[in-house]
């Protein structure tokens, strides 16, 4: 299985992904191309479920659709028995069009519109995570008709600010005190929201949600947030007499993007969280709530490889040793993967058509945009030639999801590869698509 540390090869020395020859995939579907190892995604879904379900009696693992979503992905998540976390009308629409059971959907968002709330309540979305008091008012209006319609009340969780500062890129921190997400524990706003939710006809308060940030390498921040949330559960019990029935710890576990990078395996992550949870509940004399988790990146990132065709190669004199830099340009760039520009994200790469050769040449990988869109600052590959196929692994998350048409580049196709067979799950955009909405 392809990982950032190792890669399976075909007899021809090509990268193999999902049992398919990457060179054949590129020939069939063109480049740039997002290839996802479908078996790997499914394996990650099962690993997550198993890691938590084997340790705690009541768990829902919810895939965070923002990382990568399309109809096929929603169906896969359904088949693997995970819930699906959606954060906009568009994500909700995609899930519903895929036939995802609404009761297993969770609606997120710091600024849900009335339309989004109506759409969610109308569809029968299982849970809505309420971010703020204004939203609670809005939702109360939307859900007010449920009892008269003979429908059960809308389950809601209250999103709180755990007040934990995780060590990750500032753009993907969310758990710190100064954040747009959720309600303050210290100011009393979160408790006000719980009281209000409990007293609102059409709403059923079931629990609390906290998310500390993204791409974290260990459980430290999660464990801190857990304690704050358990303390809040005590406050809720003391103030309202109600027990928190659902405890949603959000997502945030990272993946290794580079060889040698160390990220806590999900099994140890689950052990740490469930042990602390059981102990924290016992100490506080709280009953066991249902535990909810929302991995996105950790499900899908490592399953993805982006394939590019190498184009222009040039040696540019630079002041630093060795005096020359070899620029290798590919046929994509920041439009299909903005993460290097957005987060200084680092990736490795190799040649998919010469995957067994020794990486003896230090190069810089650049995109084809009218911008200094360095995809990889420095990476060793076998001396590349125009027409070579460059593979960038660990690109399954936040690539297609964040892709743009900058410089009017059509967005690449997405292919699922599994057991030697490939299927197109998102078609490549055409030039015609670029002006489809022009008047």
Pick the closest to residue 17 from 350, 267, 405 (CA basis): 350
The footprint of a copy of itself on residues 4-63 (CB under 8 A) is none
Please pick, among 20, 45, 70, 370, the residue that the annotation labels catalytic: 370
The footprint of a copy of itself on residues 100-119 (CB under 8 A) is 108-113
CB of 274 to a copy of itself, least distance (A): 25
CA distance 140 to 118: 11
Helix axes 71-79, 38-53, angle to 10 degrees: 40
The footprint of a copy of itself on residues 239-298 (CB under 8 A) is none
List the one residue from 16, 60, 302, 331 that touches a copy of itself (CB under 8 A). 331
Our answer to whether residue 370 is catalytic in this structure is: yes
Helix axes 220-240, 189-198, angle to 10 degrees: 50
Pick the closest to residue 25 from 300, 313, 305 (CA basis): 305
Candidates 36-44, 226-234, 263-271, 371-379; binding stretch for a copy of itself (CB under 8 A): 371-379
Cβ neighbors of 66 (< 8 A, separation 6 or more) are 85, 87, 91, 296, 398, 401
CB of 92 to a copy of itself, least distance (A): 9
Nearer to a copy of itself, 151 or 423 (CB): 423
Candidates 6-14, 44-52, 86-94, 271-279; binding stretch for a copy of itself (CB under 8 A): 86-94
Rama region for 396: left / alpha / beta (φ>0; ψ in -120 to 50; rest)? alpha
List the one residue from 143, 230, 329, 389 that touches a copy of itself (CB under 8 A). 329
Nearer to a copy of itself, 153 or 311 (CB): 311
Which residue pairs, CB below 8 angstroms and at least 24 apart, start in 383-387? 384/310, 384/313, 384/328, 384/351, 385/310, 385/313, 386/310, 386/311, 386/312, 386/313, 387/309, 387/310
List the one residue from 167, 268, 284, 423 that touches a copy of itself (CB under 8 A). 423
Cis preceding linkage at 322, omega within 30: yes
Nearer to a copy of itself, 4 or 34 (CB): 34
The footprint of a copy of itself on residues 299-318 (CB under 8 A) is 311-318
Candidates 120-128, 140-148, 218-226, 334-342; binding stretch for a copy of itself (CB under 8 A): 334-342
List the one residue from 38, 78, 135, 388 that touches a copy of itself (CB under 8 A). 135
Contact between 378 and a copy of itself per CB under 8 A: no
Pick the closest to residue 198 from 142, 241, 229 (CA basis): 241
Lookup: tokens for 11: 């007899």
Half-sphere exposure of 322 (CA within 13 A, CB side): 6
Contact between 364 and a copy of itself per CB under 8 A: yes
The footprint of a copy of itself on residues 160-219 (CB under 8 A) is 161, 170-174, 177-180, 183-184, 186-187, 189
Nearer to a copy of itself, 201 or 377 (CB): 377
CA distance 252 to 249: 9
DSSP at 51: H
Nearer to a copy of itself, 189 or 346 (CB): 189
Catalytic residue set = 370
């Amino acid at each position: 299985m392809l990982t950032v540390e190792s890669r399976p090869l075909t007899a021809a020395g090509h990268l193999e992904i999902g049992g398919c020859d990457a060179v054949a995939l590129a020939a069939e579907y063109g480049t740039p191309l997002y290839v996802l190892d479908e078996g790997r995604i499914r394996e990650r879904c099962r690993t997550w479920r198993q890691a938590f379900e084997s340790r705690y009696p009541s768990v829902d693992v919810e895939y965070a659709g923002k990382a990568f979503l399309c109809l096929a992905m929603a169906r896969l998540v359904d088949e693997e028995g995970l819930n699906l976390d959606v954060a906009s009308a568009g994500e909700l629409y995609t899930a519903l069009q895929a036939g995802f059971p609404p009761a297993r959907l969770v609606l997120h968002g710091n600024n849900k519109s009335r339309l989004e709330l109506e759409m969610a309540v109308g569809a029968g979305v299982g849970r809505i995570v309420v971010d703020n008091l204004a939203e609670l008012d809005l939702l109360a209006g939307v859900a007010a008709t449920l009892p008269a319609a003979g429908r059960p009340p809308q389950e809601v969780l209250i999103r709180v600010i755990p007040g934990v500062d995780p060590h990750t890129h500032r753009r993907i921190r969310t758990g710190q005190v100064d954040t747009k997400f959720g309600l303050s524990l210290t100011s009393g706003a979160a408790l006000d929201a719980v009281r209000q939710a409990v007293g609102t006809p059409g709403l059923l308060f079931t629990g609390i949600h906290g998310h500390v940030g993204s791409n974290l390498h260990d459980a430290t921040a999660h464990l801190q947030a857990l304690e704050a949330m358990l303390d809040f559960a005590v406050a809720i019990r003391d103030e309202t007499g109600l027990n928190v029935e659902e405890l949603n710890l959000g997502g945030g576990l990272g993946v290794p993007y580079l060889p040698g990078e160390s990220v806590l395996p999900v099994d140890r992550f689950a052990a740490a969280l469930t042990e602390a949870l059981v102990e924290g509940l016992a100490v506080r004399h709280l009953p066991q709530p249902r535990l909810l988790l929302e991995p996105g990146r950790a499900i899908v990132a490592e399953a993805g490889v982006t394939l590019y065709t190498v184009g222009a190669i040039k040696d540019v004199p630079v002041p630093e040793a060795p005096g020359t830099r070899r620029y290798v340009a590919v046929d994509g760039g920041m439009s299909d993967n903005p993460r290097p520009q957005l987060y200084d994200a680092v990736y490795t790469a190799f040649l998919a058509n010469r995957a067994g050769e020794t990486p003896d040449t230090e190069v810089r990988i650049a995109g084809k945009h009218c911008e200094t869109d360095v995809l990889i600052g420095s990476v060793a590959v076998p001396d590349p030639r125009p027409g070579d196929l460059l593979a960038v692994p660990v690109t399954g998350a936040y690539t297609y999801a964040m892709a743009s048409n900058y410089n009017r580049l059509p967005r690449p196709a997405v292919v699922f590869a599994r057991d030697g067979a490939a299927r197109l799950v998102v078609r490549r955009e055409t030039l015609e698509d670029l002006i489809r909405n022009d008047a």
